[in-house]
Amino acid sequence: MKLEEILKSKKPVLIDFYSADCSPCLVMEEVLVNVRNQFGNRCEIYTIDLLKHPKVFDLFKVQSVPHFKLFKNGKPRWSGSGLFNKDELILQIEKYL
């Protein structure tokens, strides 16, 4: 599935921009597992690796990792950089369910 199609989903779509050599990004992996478990199929969560897809980082103007962007119906709804706990991410996603 292409990124454009993913972002146009009627469900909230959370994109995790990360790098495998980023310690905070690795911490967020467990948080995202918990968030996925909370929402099941009501929300889509994707991870994009800086080293594998640098052009995507440029396209979305991501300057630091970890960075998160939330979309619904093709429109950006929220973004944030740094460490977040499960409850903070859940709160942002629930606004668009």
- Which of 3, 22, 56, 90 is an active site residue? 22
Residue 85 contacts by C-beta under 8 Å, 6 or more apart in sequence? Answer: 31
Q: State both tokens at 36.
A: 């996925």
Say if residues 7 and 23 touch (Cβ distance below 8 Å): no
Examine the residue annotation and report whether 25 is marked as an active-site residue of this protein.
Answer: yes
What sections of 40-85 are H helices per DSSP?
54-59
- Which of 25, 31, 65, 89 is an active site residue? 25
Examine the residue annotation and report whether 22 is marked as an active-site residue of this protein.
Answer: yes
Say if residues 31 and 93 touch (Cβ distance below 8 Å): no
The catalytic site residues sit at 22, 25
